Every structure is written in C-alpha cells, then in structure tokens.
Structure 1
Amino acid sequence: MTKLVTIYGGAGFVGRYIARRMAKEGWRVRVAVRRPNESLYVKPFGVVGQVEPVMCNVRDDDSVRAAMQGADAVVNCVGVLTELGKNSFEAVQAEGAGRIARIAAEQSVGTLVHLSAIGADEDSESDYAKTKAHGEAAVLDAFPDAVILRPSVIFGTEDEFFNRFAKMTNFGPVLPLVGGETKFQPVYVDDVAQAAVMGVLGKAEAGVYELGGPEVDSLKGLMQTMLETIQRRRFIVNLPFFAGDFMAMGFGLLQSLTFGLFHNHVLTRDQVKNLACDCIVDADAEGFSDLGISPTAMDVILPEYLWVYRDSGQYAAIRDSAANLRNN
C-alpha cells in the first residue's frame, strides 16, 4: 500500500514545496491546514486523490490526531511571523509543535520532521526565537528521533522577504531598514523541502540541521542585490534599533485601535529584537553538506520572480536590447 505523510502547514510557503516533492516520490500526501477550501491548489501536485487538504487546528488535540490518522510520517511546517488572536507564538510554535510530536509518538508514526529556525534560543529576548526553541525541546522530548531543520531566511517565489522589500520600493526613493548590518544566509525554499523529504524517507539521521545558502551578506547588502535584480535605484537608510522599536510600537498601537482590522505585517517589536542577531549557520552545525545537498545561489532564482517589480516587467531585457540597438 502507498505510504501516507501528513504535512501540517502543507499549503504554506515551505509546506507546498515539501508536498510537491513527496507526491513525486509516490506518497499520498495529507495537507493539514486551517482552511482547506483555500488550499485546493495543492491537489494538482499529484494524480487525482493523491494530495488532499484537510482541516486541522494545531491548538487542538483531536484535530491534530484526526489529521494524523494512519500516517507513516509527519512533517510540521506550522509557524507564525506575527501573533494574532489565539495564534500566539507560544500556542503555535511551542505548544502546537509539542502536541504534534506527542501524538505522533502515541500513534507510532515512523518519522517526524520539524521545521524550526536558525536563532532558536530559549534565552533570546525575542518571543519568536524563544518559542522556536521551546518547540524544538517539546518535539525532542516526545519524539527523540525527530529530524529538526533550522533554515536561515527562506527565499522563493512566494517569500515574504525579498517580495516585501521589493514592494516597498513602490512608495518612494528611500528604502528604510532596521538591522541593516545584521548578517543573513538566505536559503532557497526547494532546498529546504529537499532536506525535509530526506528526513521523511529516512535518508537523514535524527538530529538538528542548520540550513543556509552559499552566500552570507548583511541585510543592507541583500537589499542592494534585490535592487540590482529589479533594476531600481533607491537610497537605503539603516535606521537605529530604537527608531525601529518606536515605529513598531506605532504599528502595534494601530492594530490594537482597529481591533485587528489592521494586522501589523510591517514591523513588530519582536521582529526588531530578532533583527539584532545574525541569522547564519553555526560553524559547528550539521547542514546541507551532511545531507549531500548543494544549496542554490540567489542569482539563479531571484530574477525568476522579482522581474515583476521591474519598471518594464518581463520585457526589461527586450527594452535594454532595443536601447543598445539605438545607441549603435
């Protein structure tokens, strides 16, 4: 009988790439999400009936258990970048992760892959990083043989990193940054998915893997790369952390005053705290090399999706070529 994997958050940014790869491996894929009717785009990843979205709330035992019924392997990709209502960092990234691992152990699931993040640290000032660490601890406590992946900032077509800053270039000649000197090691989303699939298939030993791409650069340097890719000139301003904290307080107040109608995706105080720490692979950590994966360089992928922010869009190359002809 064909094996079954349940992917919690399988319709999200990283989860969908894992789901696609697992379908290509011939597995049945159960995509556990809060809104399955909005996640029907995962169904064409496989043949008819191979990939199915189901409703699940990781804050509820019965819901998690139902989505896991009969699964041979489990992948947890659920996480939040900003808190809203009951979906707090603690509820989702710590308690939710522990719940999935505990129930996986109860149901004798064969393998468990958990997606965490570089910078997970129980002593961090950031609640995001702190709860990521709490989630890892809860997973290992219930399922000691789990594979835990800690990626740096992830890029790809649907990312909320390069896309977010590229959109900001539409609002004026200045691109403000907080933590411009903080180092990052961007990793391509499908490389992370490949590592997760190796964990599911038992091709990765149990343990923690830190995943970063081949380039390390400051946030400011990455924004310069983004600007070159979208062929725009903007003046990058590196704001001090106290200014970023003040801005984040303002956005948070606006969210409170509008009773959540305005959801602060721009900048939160917790993100300001996180931006004070480098997000790169530790020199002693296991990573892509231990998995036999060669990470993809940014310049191979960024032009494939950031072209939409160029003034001439997909026709930028044709415009440049025509300009050269006129000059000659």
Structure 2
Amino acid sequence: MQAAAAWRRHLLDGNISPTTAAAISAFRSASQPALAPQGLGGADGARYMSARAPAVKGTGHLVRKGTGGRSSVSKKFRDSGIIATVFGATGFLGRYLVQQLAKMGSQVLVPFRGSEDCHRHLKLMGDLGQIVPMKYNPRDVDSIKAVMAKSNVVINLIGREYETRNYGFDEVNHHMAEQLAMISKEHGGIMRFIQVSSLGASASSPSRMLRAKAAGEESVLKEFPEATIMRPATMIGTEDRILNRWAQFAKNWGFLPLVDSGSTKIQPVYVVDVAAAIVNSLKDDGTSMGKTYELGGPEIYTVHELAELMYETIREWPRYIDVPLPIARAIASPREMLLNKVPFPLPTPSIFNKDQINAFSVDTLVSDNALTFSDLGIVPHKLKGYPVEFLVCYRKGGPAFGSTVSEKIRSSEL
C-alpha cells in the first residue's frame, strides 16, 4: 500500500493527467501477466517475450541488458524485453534508433514498403534474427496489424517534409499516426507507443507539415493516451537533409541562397542524441508515458550561423545571396502547383522547398517549460566537432585540407 501511494504521488509530481495516471497504474498492475512466458496470444498471436526470459514487473524494468555489442544476445535476442516495431526505420533517424535498440538486446521489426535494398544496412546492426524486415502497405490495416502482431513496443518515425503525388502532408504526418495509435490500442499488448513529431508543431504554424504534425500528436493522444511524444528539432547527421544539401549546392553553384538573410533562430540537434532519448524513454518506470518532450540541441543558431559552420567545415569561402521571403516562396511555388497536375513525378525539392521556407520564417526553439533531454538523463552534443565531421567529404583538397578558412584561401593564392 505504501508503494502504491508513493507511485501515485510520483505521478502527480510529474504533472500527469488523472486519466493517464490511472492508465499507467492499471498497466503496471497488469503488465506482469502480460509479459509472462507464453505462447502466441494477443492480436494475431502476439508473443511478447522469449520463453527463456523471466517475467518483467511493470513498465519500470521493461529493459534488461546484455553485455553490449552486436552478439551480446546471440542466444536470446529478446534480452531487453523489447520487441519493437519501428515504422519509418529505413529513414534518417531510423538507422540510429534501430542500432541503439539492437545493441541493448531488443528484437526490431522493420516494416518497409520499398525495395529489398532499403533495409539492407539495418540487418548489420543486430545478430542473426534480431532485425526482421517485413514488407507492408501503410494503407492496408491488415498489413499494419501483421507487422506489429508480435510487438510490445511501437515507435512511429513516419514523416515527410515535402509532398509527392502519392503522399500528402496530412496523410503521412496525421492520418497514418492516428491509424497506428488506434491499431496499437486495439492490439492489447502494446506497452509503449512513441510518436516522433517535430519541434514547432502547432495548429497555428505557417508550415503545413508542422500543422499536420500537431494534428497527428492530438490524434495519437486521443487514441493512445499513454503515448510518449518526441519533438526533435532539425536533426543533423551524416544523412541529414539540410547541411548535406547546403554543401552540395554551395559546391555546385559557388554560393548559398539564404531566405531573409538567414536571421531565423533554430536549435539543431545531433540525430544520435534523439535516438538515445527515445531509447531512454523505454528504460524508465513509466514516467515518460503520456508526456511530450522537446528535443533541441544545447546551442541556438541563426540559419546564417549554421551555414557559416557548414562553410567552415568544408573549407570554402562563404558566399551568400539574400532572397526575400516572398521571392523564395514564388521560386518554390511551381512545384506545388504542378504536383498533382502532371502525369509524372516531379524532382525532390532541395533548397527551395516551399513548406520548409514557411517553417524557417519563424523561430523554432524549445519552450521554456518543456520537458527536454535532461529529463531523460541525456546531455546533448554540441554541433561543432564530431556531429558535423561528415562534411569533410566536401573539401576539395581532401579531409586533411586546411584547418581554417583563411588557411585555405592563403594556400590557394600561393
């Protein structure tokens, strides 16, 4: 009784709503039989843990650890107690999340809708049978149920920062998230649902994508109140879609266009830190359930300052063209107008993505009272240094070319 009272006080101290608190308490009391060694059960035969693994008490100790490394759980890859279906695992954030889940001994189910090549790099992140690619159709309910049938954790990374002829913002960022949450709730054995949204998601945002993300968050919490919402800022890493595109444009054209002089403030974050935050939320005792976390880096940059960091790293002299916001929107508009009017796919937007231009027209920073990395026990990396080291591939003199921009300029003049 004293332990139960302490838990209730803990929930109240965490500012969790009464509905969510009741759901968490009910979940904790019911979790042990749900996780006990068993055969197939749940929706279409959910097998929550290996018969070799002991029952897990409550959400607080969902995670058990192997010794670390790819083969640390070769005989029982469910050593962490997690069988996670990661939607969007073949994307940018997905590869880092799958690696961290696999390293601690989880089995990871990877739904994919493309070719067999799109998930090959993920197979190397776990031992034999630990990473399980599964073909699915995101518009087919039965297909979705099949890929999460044996899971006890669902993580939704699905998102799109530009529209295509087949997939729009609302469907990808809102309705798919709502459907996954609904199916997860019906499943009956999903212990955790994590929805990855975006920093700045708001119904009043000038960006259609961010408005769709906000609607997706609302729908997820309506269907699955215990869900955890993660709002990462612009993510930086080897496969990112911002610094890479800037560097490619600067190398090809000799300059970089900045909308409104790049005065907008952003809080870019290292992608590995975002993956670590998601994993840490699975390791807690349920305190992250029903909460929203805003994941921004430790430093605030203007877009211009971030571009300066890119130029410094690739050892090029910075050259910019200032593009007023109305002109930038006009340059990006033809693709949006023609998107569903021509019988062929249009090129992927690089620099002038109209919705991204709208998103960068306002500051995107972590809120003052928001839950952040520190609440998940993580100290995020500063960008300068290792997180942007991948940009050295754009140095025309090779990775060891110069140590400062001025050194590069002097050497070229000799």
- Normalising by structure 2, report the TM-score: 0.74
Measured after TM superposition, the shift of residue 270 of structure 1 is 2.1
Compare 131-140 and 246-255 and name the one that shifted more. 246-255
Select which of 230, 234, 246 maps to 1:149: 230
Q: Which moved more, 1:198-207 or 1:9-18?
A: 198-207
Report the counterpart of residue 369 of structure 2 in structure 1: 284
Counterpart residue identity of residue 279, structure 2: V
Question: Do residues 79 (structure 1) and 163 (structure 2) align?
Answer: no
Output aligned runs, 1:38-187, within 5 Å. Answer: 38-108=118-188, 109-179=190-260, 180-187=262-269
- Counterpart among 21, 27, 38 of residue 100 in structure 2: 21
User: Structure 1: 5+ residue runs without aligned partners?
Assistant: none
Q: Could you say if the C-alpha distance between residues 162 and 199 of structure 1 is closer, same or farther in structure 2, counting changes exceeding 3 Å?
A: same
Mark the CA change 1:65 to 1:271 in structure 2 (over 3 Å): closer, same or farther.
Answer: same
2:385 maps to 1:305? no
Q: Which runs of 4+ in 1 moved over 4 A?
A: 253-258, 317-321
Q: Which moved more, 1:169-178 or 1:99-108?
A: 169-178
- The amino acid across from 1:128 in the alignment is M
Structure 2 CA distance for partners of 1:97 and 1:315, relative to 1, 3 Å: same
Long gaps (5+) in structure 2: 1-49, 51-77
Whether the aligned pair in 1 keeps the contact of 2:84 and 2:152 (CA below 8 Å) is yes
Per-residue CA deviation, residues 112-168 of structure 1 (Å, 9 max, x unaligned), is: 111000111112232101100010011101111111110110000110011110111
Alignment equivalent of 2:308, drawn from 220, 224, 236: 224
Distance 1:252 1:228, change over 3 A: same
Deviation at 1:258, TM superposition (A): 7.0
Amino acid at match of 2:363: D
3-state SS of the aligned residue for 1:311? coil
Q: Is the 8 A contact 1:34 1:57 kept in 2?
A: yes
1:240 is aligned to 2:321: no
* Total equivalences in the alignment: 324
**Structure whose CA Rg is larger:** 2
* Aligned with 2:288 (options 191, 198, 205): 205
1:188 matched to 2:264? The reply is: no
1:253 Cα deviation from its structure 2 partner:
5.2
Per-residue CA deviation, residues 30-86 of structure 1 (Å, 9 max, x unaligned), is 011212512111001010110022122333322211111110101000001111123
Q: Which moved more, 1:232-241 or 1:54-63?
A: 54-63
Give identity over the alignment, percent.
34
Q: Distance in 1 between matches of 2:170 and 2:375?
A: 31
For 1:260 and 1:107, the matched residues in 2 are separated by 37
Q: Report deviation, 1:87.
A: 1.2
Counterpart secondary structure, 1:84: coil
Give, in angstroms, the shift of residue 276 of structure 1: 1.1
| Structure-1 separation of matches of 2:306 and 2:239 | 17
Q: CA deviation at 1:257?
A: 5.0
RMSD, aligned α-carbons? 2.2
Q: Residue 294 of structure 2: SS of its match in structure 1?
A: strand
In the TM superposition, residue 315 of structure 1 has moved relative to its aligned partner by 3.2
How many angstroms apart in 2 are the aligned matches of 1:303 and 1:128?
26
Q: Distance in 2 between matches of 1:303 and 1:144?
A: 37
Q: Distance in 1 between matches of 2:364 and 2:328?
A: 18
Q: For the Cα contact (< 8 Å) 2:161–2:355, is it kept in 1?
A: no
Contact 1:254–1:262 (CA under 8 A) maintained in structure 2: no
Is contact 1:23-1:29 (8 Å) kept? yes
Decide whether the 8 Å contact of 2:335 with 2:346 is kept in 1: no
Letter matched to residue 230 of structure 1: I
Deviation for aligned residue 1:318: 9.4
**What's the offset of the Cα at 1:268?**
2.9
What letter matches 1:60 in structure 2?
D
- Contact preservation (8 Å) 2:85, 2:148: yes
Task: Between 42-51 and 28-37, report the one with greater CA deviation.
Answer: 28-37
74-83 vs 257-266, greater mean Cα deviation: 257-266
Whole-angstrom distance in 2 between the partners of 1:79 and 1:250 = 23
Residues 58 and 277 of structure 1, relative CA distance in 2, 3 Å threshold: farther
Query: Would the aligned equivalents of 2:245 and 2:350 in 1 still touch at CA under 8 Å?
Result: no
CA distance in 2 between partners of 1:254 and 1:142 (Å): 35
Q: Distance in 1 between matches of 2:328 and 2:384?
A: 29
Higher strand share: 1
- 2:127, 2:185 → 1: CA distance? 30
CA distance, structure 1, for counterparts of residue 211 and residue 228 of structure 2: 19
CA contact (8 A) 2:83 2:106 kept: yes
